[in-house]
Amino acid sequence: MHRSVFFILVLSVVFGTAIVFSSHHWFSVWVGLELNTLSIIPILCGSFFPRSVESSVKYFLVQSVSAAIILNVVVIQAWLYSSWSVSQPLSFVASLLVTFAVGLKLGLFPCHYWFPDVIQGVGFIQGLVLSTWQKFAPFVVLVNVVDVLNIQVLVCLGALSVLVGGWGGLNQTQVRKVLAYSSIAHMGWICCTVGYSLSGGCVMLLVYVVINSGVFLLAGEYELKSLSHMGRLSYFSSSGAVCLALGVLSLGGLPPLFGFSIKFISLSCLVSNGSFLLAGLLVLGSLLSLFFYLRVAFNSVLVLFPQHSLVAFGWRNAGTCVSVGSTLRGLLVSFSVSLSLFGLCCLPVLFSFL
């Protein structure tokens, strides 16, 4: 893909998200979502491998169905109430359909089935974009309509997403699928919190984006496609292995790492609103997720993966293992890792936004 074409597509993705951010009219929200989707598709299949093309088609179909549901619901709302305002109250059926459409875009249960396959079929950078930036536009739609949605349905979908994300990642050996199920679980935490505190959900999303970006960039830098590749990471980059372990454990929410703030903020909001059963379900799902986070950390730093000696020392001729210190990617990784280590110092600042 030519550099100027790539630059135009990236600008279109950003512009589509900005339209969703700044719009209070349903038609312009739909236009922003469609512009965002149509611009990201060529970026996903830019390498034009069969697997990436398949993932791009899956992503396009899922996003098209979601946008079509939103457009049909708002057209019916405009026909009944003569209003295209996002803040217009929704009927029970319309509320369920909008929740389903937004959940389909975010990858919530039961609409999560497409997300791990799409992440597995694209590169690490494209997977990072799908797990972070592409969540912003549907999340803004969810924030705008959360006051007129059925909160019980949204909270149930979020809790089931946490459980499914933890359970689905247990049997995975591919790094991108592990991170995909991790994203499903984290979006469940965020959606459960949004039902009770909008500012808390926004803070959790920003913290997750920072930590997840560091993990994706490190895995992409060293081409860690499976857990066996992680077992060889400590041979040629002990600092990279330690940084990856810290990032993964931060995603798991272990104190005193920065990811613990996500769990702490969410549980604080839920307990203060009396949702003790929901808080218990989220903690249970988090324990399931913590199992495969610890497995990734053990494979990258603490134990050596079973492998042949010739494979273990094949890093001597590997050209993909470069330093990450002097590039933009290295700066982003350093920022993410430093936040994972010292991020809890920012916890009082985060609580000031609640």
**pLDDT tens digits in sequence order for the chain, 354 residues long:** 678 888 899 999 999 999 999 888 888 999 999 999 999 998 888 777 788 888 899 999 999 999 999 999 889 888 888 778 887 888 888 888 998 999 999 989 888 889 999 999 888 889 999 999 999 999 999 988 888 788 888 899 999 999 999 898 888 888 899 999 999 999 999 999 998 888 888 888 988 998 888 888 888 888 888 887 777 777 777 777 888 888 888 888 888 788 888 888 888 888 888 888 888 899 888 888 888 888 888 877 765 555 544 444 444 444 444 444 446 666 666 666 666 666 666 666 665 665
d(CA 207, CA 178): 19
Phi, psi of 81 (to 5 degrees): -115, 0
Instruction: Please give the pLDDT value at position 52.
Output: 85
SS3 226: strand
Instruction: Please give the pLDDT value at position 340.
Output: 67
Instruction: Please give the pLDDT value at position 20.
Output: 92
Pick from 9, 186, 46, 47: nearest CA to 115: 186
Each domain of the chain, given as residue ranges in start order, spans: 1-124, 150-354
pTM above 0.85, yes or no: yes
Instruction: Please give the pLDDT value at position 80.
Output: 83
d(CA 349, CA 8): 36
Q: Which residue pairs from 151-156 have beta carbons closer than 8 angstroms and sit at least 24 positions apart in sequence?
A: 151/195, 153/95, 153/96, 153/99, 154/99, 154/191, 154/192, 154/194, 154/195, 155/191, 155/192, 155/195, 155/275, 155/278
Instruction: Please give the pLDDT value at position 119.
Output: 92
d(CA 337, CA 159): 28
